[in-house]
Structure 1
């Protein structure tokens, strides 16, 4: 599909979310059309953009391995179901497709893989400015995917023009850094050659047999590493409390208020891997929606010592699993580490946190939590470096 469009559906949806004016499914192309159930809708109306209406079956710039341009209905449906678990999301999609057929409509909702859905939701809510699945708008390289109002190109509806007239115009790098006249700095490359040493090659490039060839992955966006949590009810760390633990160094009971999500992400500065930006990690409790290549991105597995956790893993035998992936066990301070964990080998980091007591969550009462978290991150970072994670590349096999 063309990477440029007059009214880009992805940008419109992201802007409507930012403006807190949700898009509305309608059954007619008129701006005054009333709301309709998603199964009967033919268009999507955007109140934030002067009630602009776009077809719900239109393709978008969101590209997956299964489809080049995921349609608007599928994108909108994924956003509506952003906080539901993966099985419920899949079941809801199947129900909606059945309702579409019953209503005599055409098209269907495409199921997105869990990494694709997380990447989409993160971009739509504005938590990320880049996406490996969104094709940039024509002529804007990677910047068109960032969702700015000024990114819409072509002829603009007069009502939208009134809105866009209030946007702040940003200069490009020529006008900001060099003035109106572009400057040719190509001669600097020749002068710098003497001082710049060739960067060491990523292990993936050595397999080509040419150590002097540039890495084939150097220009690609590094995928997000994945951390798997234990789905066991006895686990001290679940999706409900893992973010506060890993990002803030603060343990709270998992039965407290959760995020309502089936997956989430945390960020961590890892300067030995990427000195310029924090690394974003995807956290999920199971690999049910994994594609085979996702296993190369798994950097840690949290476990309680129960082998049933691994029945759907690529490596179902714990000793074999922990030859490939770092294990993390977190228990109560003073309790004995389970014999199963000890028997699975030295590739499992064992940690202990203070028992939770009423009032122990106040400031300063859990000062040792941060020490435990730093130890976990140190082990994960060392394992990632050993596996080949770099600023612009991930391992092709673990």
Structure 2
């Protein structure tokens, strides 16, 4: 698209943010009535003004070097609450009803990042290309930020703020020319007598010439780093056990690992969300003392790409080897030579024989048995258990080469 005003992704995100209607229609007429998605040829957006776009319009969301069409993006948003098996069934059903084309089924992390971007919880994605003529992504990011607030997205040629790129709006130029210009601390301290500091350059030259040259990092050789032009370090991944007998599930993992408090997975105090992925934050002082690291928690690896395994920093297990059948290393001894294992059980209960057989590479911890709701007896030990788990994870990350700005190329 030539402009952010007609970009299908931004129009979709803006409509979602403002809860405006998005209508599948069988005509390019903006007043055409809504029809079933399988019979639609256009998608009509009702804000900020009615705009109708062909439903097969390619978007800036790119998967496997192919631009995903608007219909696939819109259908994914409609079915975002469905578990993956039910979503795949819905895609198959719609494919059977379509006369032209097929619905694109995104990979696991593509689906997560796209939904996060559309709902406004994320401002960037490695799968979304910048708008045409916006190489650094500044205009598209600003337009997306406005869209997430329900405002109209600006065109590429307009100026977003005084420091933005492009042609300055004439009305803003009049306002800026009327401003009273004030000096900064450098101009205020300079005084009325100019001072020549050119001799300082000669004094500093010997010291600058001896400055050691830092070796450059070849980003292209590290697939875990080459996520986007900003070279953002990828988030480390923690795998939970999908077993129903696991004490740590998606419903209570965030409370335990982030807040240091254990509640049973089926307790009313646990999260009611059936999410397939969670984000938790933890400060790892020996890796980055200034910023918390964001970790991704998942149970299944069916949608894993090969490079995702370089980001896995821990595997929680119940001792059941079927958990590893879809892993990169299906043999537990091979798996735990690359990634530390963690077993969480009840305190004073016997550790399963399988976990004991896997040796010291699986850390065993125990939590106090759960009592009545509202009882905090023994729960103060939960934080001690959580801290011991994070020490194991942090130690492994340091040994694998995780730093503030990079992830390991392989594990």
**TM-score bracket for the superposition, by shorter chain length:** 0.7 to 0.9
* Cα 1:198–1:119 shift into 2, 3 Å: farther
* Residue number in structure 1 paired with 2:278: 264
* Residue number in structure 1 paired with 2:155: 153
Q: CA RMSD in A?
A: 3.7
Contact 1:61 1:70 in 2 (8 A): yes
Please say if 1:242 is aligned against 2:253.
yes
State the 1:41 CA deviation: 2.0
* Residue number in structure 1 paired with 2:185: none
State the 1:366 CA deviation: 2.7
* Residue number in structure 2 paired with 1:30: 29
Larger Rg belongs to = 2
State the 1:15 CA deviation: 2.0
* Residue number in structure 2 paired with 1:280: 294
CA distance in 2, matches of 1:145, 1:20: 21
State the 1:135 CA deviation: 0.9
State the 1:309 CA deviation: 0.6
Alignment of 1:35-50 (within 5 A): 35-50=34-49
* Cα 1:36–1:311 shift into 2, 3 Å: same
Please say if 1:346 is aligned against 2:364.
no
* Residue number in structure 2 paired with 1:300: 314
Contact 1:310 1:316 in 2 (8 A): yes
* Residue number in structure 1 paired with 2:242: 231
State the 1:199 CA deviation: 4.7
Aligned with 1:227: secondary structure? strand
Alignment of 1:1-398 (within 5 A): 5-21=4-20, 23-65=22-64, 67-100=65-98, 104=99, 106-137=100-131, 138-139=133-134, 141-143=136-138, 144-145=140-141, 147-149=144-146, 152-153=154-155, 170-172=161-163, 193=208, 198-199=213-214, 220-256=231-267, 257-275=271-289, 277-360=291-374, 366-398=379-411
Contact 1:219 1:392 in 2 (8 A): no
* Residue number in structure 1 paired with 2:198: none
* Cα 1:273–1:127 shift into 2, 3 Å: farther
State the 1:317 CA deviation: 0.9
* Cα 1:16–1:280 shift into 2, 3 Å: farther
Contact 1:7 1:152 in 2 (8 A): no
State the 1:385 CA deviation: 2.1
Write the deviation string for residues 101-143 of structure 1: whole angstroms up to 9, x where unpaired. Answer: xxx3x22211111011111112222222221111122326133
TM-score relative to the length of structure 1 = 0.80
Q: How many residues align?
A: 366
Aligned with 1:39: secondary structure? helix
Contact 1:62 1:69 in 2 (8 A): yes
Aligned with 2:38: secondary structure? coil
Contact 1:388 1:394 in 2 (8 A): yes
* Cα 1:128–1:194 shift into 2, 3 Å: farther
Write the deviation string for residues 54-113 of structure 1: whole angstroms up to 9, x where unpaired. Answer: 222111111122x4311111112222222322222222212211121xxx3x22211111
Write the deviation string for residues 149-183 of structure 1: whole angstroms up to 9, x where unpaired. Answer: 36542589xxxxxxxxxxx953327999xx99xxx
Contact 1:235 1:304 in 2 (8 A): yes
TM-score relative to the length of structure 2 = 0.77
* Residue number in structure 1 paired with 2:171: none
Write the deviation string for residues 217-238 of structure 1: whole angstroms up to 9, x where unpaired. Answer: 9952222222211110101111
Structure 2 unmatched ranges of 5 or more: 147-151, 169-175, 183-200
Contact 2:123 2:145 in 1 (8 A): no
Contact 1:135 1:145 in 2 (8 A): no
State the 1:371 CA deviation: 2.6
* Residue number in structure 2 paired with 1:185: none
